[in-house]
Structure 1
Protein backbone atom coordinates (compact mmCIF):
# COMPACT_ATOMS: atom_id res chain seq x y z
CA UNK A 1 0.00 0.00 0.00
CA UNK A 2 1.47 3.35 -1.07
CA UNK A 3 1.75 6.54 0.95
CA UNK A 4 -1.03 8.15 -1.09
CA UNK A 5 -3.39 5.28 -0.32
CA UNK A 6 -2.56 5.43 3.40
CA UNK A 7 -3.16 9.18 3.32
CA UNK A 8 -6.59 8.65 1.77
CA UNK A 9 -7.52 5.94 4.28
CA UNK A 10 -6.57 8.13 7.24
CA UNK A 11 -8.52 10.98 5.65
CA UNK A 12 -11.63 8.81 5.32
CA UNK A 13 -11.33 7.67 8.95
CA UNK A 14 -11.05 11.24 10.31
CA UNK A 15 -13.61 12.72 7.92
CA UNK A 16 -16.13 10.07 8.93
CA UNK A 17 -16.12 11.66 12.37
CA UNK A 18 -18.31 14.38 10.87
CA UNK A 19 -21.05 11.73 10.79
CA UNK A 20 -20.28 9.52 13.79
CA UNK A 21 -19.43 12.42 16.12
CA UNK A 22 -21.55 15.14 14.56
CA UNK A 23 -21.86 16.99 17.89
CA UNK A 24 -18.29 18.18 17.31
CA UNK A 25 -19.07 19.67 13.89
CA UNK A 26 -19.78 23.24 15.09
CA UNK A 27 -16.42 23.28 16.90
CA UNK A 28 -14.65 21.88 13.84
CA UNK A 29 -16.24 24.50 11.60
CA UNK A 30 -15.12 27.22 13.99
CA UNK A 31 -11.58 25.87 14.06
CA UNK A 32 -11.41 25.74 10.27
CA UNK A 33 -13.01 29.06 9.50
CA UNK A 34 -12.56 31.38 12.48
CA UNK A 35 -9.80 30.16 14.80
CA UNK A 36 -7.05 31.56 12.57
CA UNK A 37 -8.19 35.06 13.58
CA UNK A 38 -7.12 34.26 17.14
CA UNK A 39 -3.56 34.01 15.84
CA UNK A 40 -3.81 37.36 14.08
CA UNK A 41 -5.26 38.91 17.23
CA UNK A 42 -2.51 37.32 19.30
CA UNK A 43 0.21 38.85 17.12
CA UNK A 44 -1.39 42.29 17.47
CA UNK A 45 -1.76 41.95 21.25
CA UNK A 46 1.85 40.81 21.69
CA UNK A 47 3.07 43.79 19.67
CA UNK A 48 1.08 46.33 21.66
CA UNK A 49 2.12 44.96 25.04
CA UNK A 50 5.03 47.38 24.47
CA UNK A 51 7.52 44.73 25.57
CA UNK A 52 10.72 44.69 23.53
CA UNK A 53 11.05 40.90 23.61
CA UNK A 54 7.53 40.44 22.29
CA UNK A 55 8.24 42.77 19.41
CA UNK A 56 11.29 40.74 18.46
CA UNK A 57 9.05 37.70 18.52
CA UNK A 58 6.40 39.32 16.31
CA UNK A 59 8.84 40.55 13.67
CA UNK A 60 10.68 37.23 13.58
CA UNK A 61 7.39 35.35 13.25
CA UNK A 62 6.00 37.59 10.50
CA UNK A 63 9.25 37.27 8.56
CA UNK A 64 9.01 33.49 8.95
CA UNK A 65 5.39 33.57 7.74
CA UNK A 66 6.49 35.25 4.50
CA UNK A 67 9.03 32.48 3.95
CA UNK A 68 6.57 29.73 4.89
CA UNK A 69 3.80 30.92 2.59
CA UNK A 70 6.33 31.48 -0.19
CA UNK A 71 7.55 27.90 0.11
CA UNK A 72 3.98 26.64 0.24
CA UNK A 73 3.08 28.50 -2.94
CA UNK A 74 6.08 27.05 -4.78
CA UNK A 75 5.32 23.51 -3.63
CA UNK A 76 1.66 23.82 -4.62
CA UNK A 77 2.73 24.44 -8.22
CA UNK A 78 5.34 21.69 -8.43
CA UNK A 79 3.36 19.09 -6.47
CA UNK A 80 -0.22 19.99 -7.33
CA UNK A 81 -2.88 17.93 -5.60
CA UNK A 82 -6.65 18.20 -5.89
CA UNK A 83 -8.83 18.69 -2.84
CA UNK A 84 -10.37 15.49 -1.40
CA UNK A 85 -13.87 16.50 -2.52
CA UNK A 86 -12.80 16.75 -6.17
CA UNK A 87 -12.42 13.00 -6.69
CA UNK A 88 -14.11 11.48 -3.64
CA UNK A 89 -17.42 11.62 -1.88
CA UNK A 90 -16.61 13.33 1.40
CA UNK A 91 -18.38 14.89 4.36
CA UNK A 92 -17.61 18.49 3.41
CA UNK A 93 -18.77 20.81 6.17
CA UNK A 94 -17.33 24.09 4.86
CA UNK A 95 -17.26 25.74 1.46
CA UNK A 96 -13.96 25.79 -0.36
CA UNK A 97 -12.75 26.41 -3.89
CA UNK A 98 -11.24 23.46 -5.75
CA UNK A 99 -7.70 24.83 -5.74
CA UNK A 100 -4.43 23.19 -4.66
CA UNK A 101 -4.76 21.04 -1.56
CA UNK A 102 -1.02 20.55 -0.89
CA UNK A 103 0.27 22.00 1.36
CA UNK A 104 -2.32 23.42 3.75
CA UNK A 105 -2.03 27.21 4.05
CA UNK A 106 -4.03 27.17 7.27
CA UNK A 107 -1.51 24.76 8.79
CA UNK A 108 1.43 26.84 7.59
CA UNK A 109 -0.02 30.02 9.08
CA UNK A 110 -1.06 28.46 12.38
CA UNK A 111 2.20 26.60 12.95
CA UNK A 112 4.53 29.39 11.89
CA UNK A 113 2.93 31.71 14.45
CA UNK A 114 2.58 29.07 17.16
CA UNK A 115 6.18 27.92 16.75
CA UNK A 116 7.41 31.51 16.61
CA UNK A 117 5.71 32.21 19.94
CA UNK A 118 6.96 28.94 21.45
CA UNK A 119 10.58 29.76 20.62
CA UNK A 120 10.31 32.91 22.73
CA UNK A 121 7.67 31.98 25.29
CA UNK A 122 7.54 28.24 25.94
CA UNK A 123 4.44 28.01 28.17
CA UNK A 124 2.24 30.26 26.05
CA UNK A 125 3.68 28.80 22.88
CA UNK A 126 2.62 25.30 23.91
CA UNK A 127 -1.00 26.46 24.09
CA UNK A 128 -0.73 28.06 20.66
CA UNK A 129 0.75 24.84 19.28
CA UNK A 130 -2.23 22.86 20.60
CA UNK A 131 -4.59 25.31 18.89
CA UNK A 132 -2.58 25.06 15.66
CA UNK A 133 -2.86 21.26 15.80
CA UNK A 134 -6.63 21.48 16.28
CA UNK A 135 -6.96 23.79 13.29
CA UNK A 136 -4.93 21.40 11.13
CA UNK A 137 -7.01 18.43 12.30
CA UNK A 138 -10.27 20.28 11.60
CA UNK A 139 -9.28 20.81 7.98
CA UNK A 140 -9.29 17.03 7.53
CA UNK A 141 -12.48 16.56 9.54
CA UNK A 142 -14.27 19.12 7.39
CA UNK A 143 -13.23 17.43 4.15
CA UNK A 144 -10.96 20.05 2.58
CA UNK A 145 -7.49 18.57 3.18
CA UNK A 146 -5.73 15.23 3.33
CA UNK A 147 -3.60 14.44 6.39
CA UNK A 148 -0.46 14.76 4.26
CA UNK A 149 -1.46 18.31 3.34
CA UNK A 150 -1.71 19.51 6.93
CA UNK A 151 1.39 17.61 8.06
CA UNK A 152 3.40 19.23 5.29
CA UNK A 153 1.93 22.63 6.14
CA UNK A 154 2.74 22.18 9.82
CA UNK A 155 6.31 21.20 8.99
CA UNK A 156 6.81 24.14 6.63
CA UNK A 157 5.42 26.58 9.18
CA UNK A 158 7.46 25.20 12.08
CA UNK A 159 10.74 24.92 10.18
CA UNK A 160 10.34 28.43 8.75
CA UNK A 161 9.92 29.81 12.27
CA UNK A 162 12.98 27.92 13.54
CA UNK A 163 15.14 29.04 10.62
CA UNK A 164 14.21 32.71 11.06
CA UNK A 165 14.70 32.51 14.82
CA UNK A 166 18.18 31.06 14.37
CA UNK A 167 18.99 33.57 11.63
CA UNK A 168 18.15 36.57 13.82
CA UNK A 169 19.86 34.95 16.79
CA UNK A 170 23.13 33.89 15.15
CA UNK A 171 23.58 36.31 12.24
CA UNK A 172 24.80 39.57 13.77
CA UNK A 173 23.74 41.71 10.79
CA UNK A 174 20.18 40.39 10.94
CA UNK A 175 20.13 40.80 14.71
CA UNK A 176 21.25 44.42 14.49
CA UNK A 177 18.69 45.19 11.78
CA UNK A 178 15.94 43.65 13.90
CA UNK A 179 16.86 45.72 16.94
CA UNK A 180 17.32 48.88 14.86
CA UNK A 181 13.87 48.56 13.31
CA UNK A 182 12.24 48.11 16.72
CA UNK A 183 14.19 50.98 18.26
CA UNK A 184 13.19 53.26 15.39
CA UNK A 185 9.53 52.39 15.92
CA UNK A 186 9.86 52.92 19.66
CA UNK A 187 11.38 56.37 19.14
CA UNK A 188 8.23 57.31 17.28
CA UNK A 189 6.17 55.96 20.16
CA UNK A 190 8.16 57.98 22.68
CA UNK A 191 7.55 61.14 20.71
CA UNK A 192 3.86 60.30 20.91
CA UNK A 193 4.18 59.97 24.68
CA UNK A 194 3.93 56.18 24.75
CA UNK A 195 6.18 54.39 27.22
CA UNK A 196 7.30 50.83 26.58
CA UNK A 197 8.67 48.13 28.84
CA UNK A 198 11.85 46.21 28.23
CA UNK A 199 10.28 43.09 29.65
CA UNK A 200 12.24 39.95 30.39
CA UNK A 201 15.62 39.41 28.81
CA UNK A 202 15.28 38.09 25.29
CA UNK A 203 16.41 34.65 24.16
CA UNK A 204 18.72 36.46 21.75
Structure 2
Protein backbone atom coordinates (compact mmCIF):
# COMPACT_ATOMS: atom_id res chain seq x y z
CA UNK A 1 0.00 0.00 0.00
CA UNK A 2 2.83 2.36 0.78
CA UNK A 3 4.29 1.89 -2.69
CA UNK A 4 0.99 3.03 -4.16
CA UNK A 5 0.51 5.99 -1.85
CA UNK A 6 4.01 7.48 -2.38
CA UNK A 7 3.56 8.61 -6.02
CA UNK A 8 0.02 9.80 -5.29
CA UNK A 9 1.06 12.27 -2.59
CA UNK A 10 3.27 14.49 -4.82
CA UNK A 11 0.54 14.43 -7.46
CA UNK A 12 -2.10 15.51 -4.93
CA UNK A 13 0.26 18.14 -3.54
CA UNK A 14 0.82 19.51 -7.04
CA UNK A 15 -2.93 19.68 -7.64
CA UNK A 16 -3.48 21.50 -4.34
CA UNK A 17 -0.69 23.98 -5.16
CA UNK A 18 -2.10 24.56 -8.65
CA UNK A 19 -5.59 25.20 -7.28
CA UNK A 20 -4.14 27.56 -4.68
CA UNK A 21 -2.36 29.53 -7.41
CA UNK A 22 -5.52 29.82 -9.50
CA UNK A 23 -7.88 30.68 -6.66
CA UNK A 24 -5.67 32.63 -4.25
CA UNK A 25 -5.28 36.35 -4.08
CA UNK A 26 -7.99 38.92 -3.89
CA UNK A 27 -8.69 41.37 -6.69
CA UNK A 28 -6.71 44.05 -4.86
CA UNK A 29 -3.50 42.01 -5.18
CA UNK A 30 -3.66 41.20 -8.89
CA UNK A 31 -0.77 41.92 -11.24
CA UNK A 32 -1.90 44.45 -13.84
CA UNK A 33 -0.11 45.55 -17.01
CA UNK A 34 -1.71 48.38 -18.98
CA UNK A 35 -5.43 47.54 -18.82
CA UNK A 36 -4.83 43.79 -18.64
CA UNK A 37 -4.96 41.82 -15.44
CA UNK A 38 -2.13 39.32 -15.85
CA UNK A 39 -3.07 37.15 -12.87
CA UNK A 40 -6.87 37.25 -13.31
CA UNK A 41 -8.27 33.98 -14.61
CA UNK A 42 -11.66 32.86 -15.90
CA UNK A 43 -13.03 29.36 -15.65
CA UNK A 44 -12.29 27.83 -19.09
CA UNK A 45 -15.65 26.04 -19.17
CA UNK A 46 -18.07 28.61 -17.77
CA UNK A 47 -16.11 31.78 -18.52
CA UNK A 48 -16.91 33.03 -15.02
CA UNK A 49 -14.28 34.87 -12.91
CA UNK A 50 -12.09 32.44 -11.03
CA UNK A 51 -9.92 34.61 -8.78
CA UNK A 52 -10.95 38.25 -9.22
CA UNK A 53 -13.82 40.72 -8.98
CA UNK A 54 -14.97 41.54 -12.55
CA UNK A 55 -16.05 45.00 -11.41
CA UNK A 56 -12.44 45.85 -10.54
CA UNK A 57 -10.95 44.30 -13.70
CA UNK A 58 -13.60 44.63 -16.46
CA UNK A 59 -11.19 44.87 -19.41
CA UNK A 60 -8.30 42.85 -20.69
CA UNK A 61 -8.65 39.88 -18.38
CA UNK A 62 -6.53 36.96 -19.52
CA UNK A 63 -8.39 33.72 -20.00
CA UNK A 64 -6.83 30.35 -19.30
CA UNK A 65 -7.25 29.55 -22.99
CA UNK A 66 -5.18 32.57 -23.96
CA UNK A 67 -2.45 31.58 -21.55
CA UNK A 68 -2.44 28.05 -22.96
CA UNK A 69 -2.28 29.42 -26.49
CA UNK A 70 0.77 31.53 -25.70
CA UNK A 71 2.53 28.62 -24.02
CA UNK A 72 1.81 26.47 -27.06
CA UNK A 73 3.35 29.15 -29.25
CA UNK A 74 6.55 28.88 -27.26
CA UNK A 75 6.60 32.25 -25.51
CA UNK A 76 5.34 30.87 -22.20
CA UNK A 77 3.79 34.28 -21.54
CA UNK A 78 0.05 34.98 -21.42
CA UNK A 79 -1.63 36.83 -24.23
CA UNK A 80 -4.71 39.02 -24.08
CA UNK A 81 -6.95 40.60 -26.67
CA UNK A 82 -6.35 44.28 -27.26
CA UNK A 83 -9.36 46.54 -26.76
CA UNK A 84 -11.23 47.75 -29.80
CA UNK A 85 -10.01 50.86 -31.58
CA UNK A 86 -11.79 54.14 -30.89
CA UNK A 87 -10.06 55.89 -33.79
CA UNK A 88 -6.77 56.12 -35.64
CA UNK A 89 -4.71 58.88 -37.19
CA UNK A 90 -1.19 59.45 -38.46
CA UNK A 91 1.28 62.23 -39.00
CA UNK A 92 4.29 62.32 -41.32
CA UNK A 93 7.28 64.63 -41.27
CA UNK A 94 10.75 64.75 -42.73
CA UNK A 95 14.14 65.19 -41.09
CA UNK A 96 17.18 66.56 -42.91
CA UNK A 97 19.69 64.59 -40.86
CA UNK A 98 20.37 60.86 -41.07
CA UNK A 99 17.86 58.16 -40.20
CA UNK A 100 19.78 56.94 -37.14
CA UNK A 101 19.74 60.39 -35.55
CA UNK A 102 16.05 60.82 -36.34
CA UNK A 103 15.31 57.45 -34.72
CA UNK A 104 17.31 58.30 -31.61
CA UNK A 105 15.53 61.63 -31.22
CA UNK A 106 12.05 60.12 -31.68
CA UNK A 107 12.88 57.22 -29.35
CA UNK A 108 13.91 59.63 -26.61
CA UNK A 109 11.05 62.09 -27.15
CA UNK A 110 8.29 59.46 -26.87
CA UNK A 111 9.96 57.03 -24.48
CA UNK A 112 10.17 54.07 -26.83
CA UNK A 113 12.23 51.20 -25.43
CA UNK A 114 14.04 48.14 -26.71
CA UNK A 115 13.18 44.78 -25.14
CA UNK A 116 16.48 44.83 -23.22
CA UNK A 117 15.59 48.25 -21.80
CA UNK A 118 12.10 47.05 -20.88
CA UNK A 119 13.56 44.06 -19.02
CA UNK A 120 16.00 46.34 -17.19
CA UNK A 121 13.13 48.62 -16.14
CA UNK A 122 10.37 46.09 -15.41
CA UNK A 123 12.19 42.83 -14.71
CA UNK A 124 12.51 39.77 -16.90
CA UNK A 125 8.87 38.70 -16.84
CA UNK A 126 7.41 42.20 -17.09
CA UNK A 127 9.76 43.28 -19.87
CA UNK A 128 9.17 40.14 -21.93
CA UNK A 129 5.42 40.39 -21.43
CA UNK A 130 5.39 43.97 -22.69
CA UNK A 131 6.80 42.78 -26.01
CA UNK A 132 4.92 39.47 -26.26
CA UNK A 133 1.60 41.27 -25.70
CA UNK A 134 2.06 43.24 -28.93
CA UNK A 135 1.82 46.57 -27.12
CA UNK A 136 5.55 47.24 -27.46
CA UNK A 137 7.94 46.64 -30.34
CA UNK A 138 11.37 47.79 -31.41
CA UNK A 139 13.34 46.75 -34.46
CA UNK A 140 16.20 48.50 -36.18
CA UNK A 141 18.19 48.26 -39.37
CA UNK A 142 20.78 50.99 -38.72
CA UNK A 143 21.18 53.35 -41.62
CA UNK A 144 17.88 52.25 -43.19
CA UNK A 145 14.76 51.69 -41.08
CA UNK A 146 13.41 51.72 -37.51
CA UNK A 147 10.10 50.51 -36.11
CA UNK A 148 9.02 51.41 -32.57
CA UNK A 149 5.74 50.83 -30.75
CA UNK A 150 4.43 51.49 -27.24
CA UNK A 151 1.35 52.23 -25.15
CA UNK A 152 0.93 56.01 -24.91
CA UNK A 153 -1.76 58.69 -24.76
CA UNK A 154 -4.63 56.25 -23.98
CA UNK A 155 -3.71 54.08 -26.95
CA UNK A 156 -0.89 52.70 -29.04
CA UNK A 157 1.75 54.84 -30.74
CA UNK A 158 3.86 53.49 -33.60
CA UNK A 159 6.83 55.20 -35.25
CA UNK A 160 8.30 54.12 -38.59
CA UNK A 161 11.47 55.95 -39.53
CA UNK A 162 13.03 55.30 -42.92
CA UNK A 163 15.97 56.65 -44.87
CA UNK A 164 15.29 58.95 -47.81
CA UNK A 165 17.56 60.62 -50.34
CA UNK A 166 17.30 63.90 -48.43
CA UNK A 167 17.44 62.55 -44.88
CA UNK A 168 14.70 60.59 -43.11
CA UNK A 169 10.94 60.17 -43.21
CA UNK A 170 9.10 59.80 -39.88
CA UNK A 171 5.59 58.33 -39.85
CA UNK A 172 3.79 58.40 -36.51
CA UNK A 173 0.59 56.36 -36.25
CA UNK A 174 -1.75 56.50 -33.28
CA UNK A 175 -4.56 54.09 -32.40
CA UNK A 176 -6.79 55.25 -29.55
CA UNK A 177 -7.99 52.27 -27.50
CA UNK A 178 -9.29 54.00 -24.35
CA UNK A 179 -11.51 56.98 -23.70
CA UNK A 180 -8.95 59.53 -22.56
CA UNK A 181 -9.20 63.10 -21.35
CA UNK A 182 -8.29 64.33 -24.83
CA UNK A 183 -9.95 63.70 -28.17
CA UNK A 184 -8.16 61.92 -31.00
CA UNK A 185 -7.50 65.28 -32.71
CA UNK A 186 -6.08 66.78 -29.51
CA UNK A 187 -3.86 63.76 -28.97
CA UNK A 188 -2.53 63.93 -32.52
CA UNK A 189 -1.83 67.63 -32.08
CA UNK A 190 0.22 66.79 -28.98
CA UNK A 191 2.09 64.02 -30.82
CA UNK A 192 2.85 66.43 -33.65
CA UNK A 193 4.23 69.04 -31.24
CA UNK A 194 6.48 66.51 -29.47
CA UNK A 195 7.82 65.14 -32.76
CA UNK A 196 8.49 68.54 -34.29
CA UNK A 197 10.26 69.76 -31.16
CA UNK A 198 12.42 66.61 -31.09
CA UNK A 199 13.48 66.95 -34.72
CA UNK A 200 14.29 70.68 -34.76
Range class of TM-score, shorter chain: under 0.3
Q: TM-score, normalised by structure 2?
A: 0.25
Structure having the higher Rg: 2
Structure with greater proportional strand content: 2
Structure with greater proportional helix content: 1
Q: TM-score, normalised by structure 1?
A: 0.24
| Greater length-normalized contact order (CA 8 Å, ≥ 6 residues apart) | 1
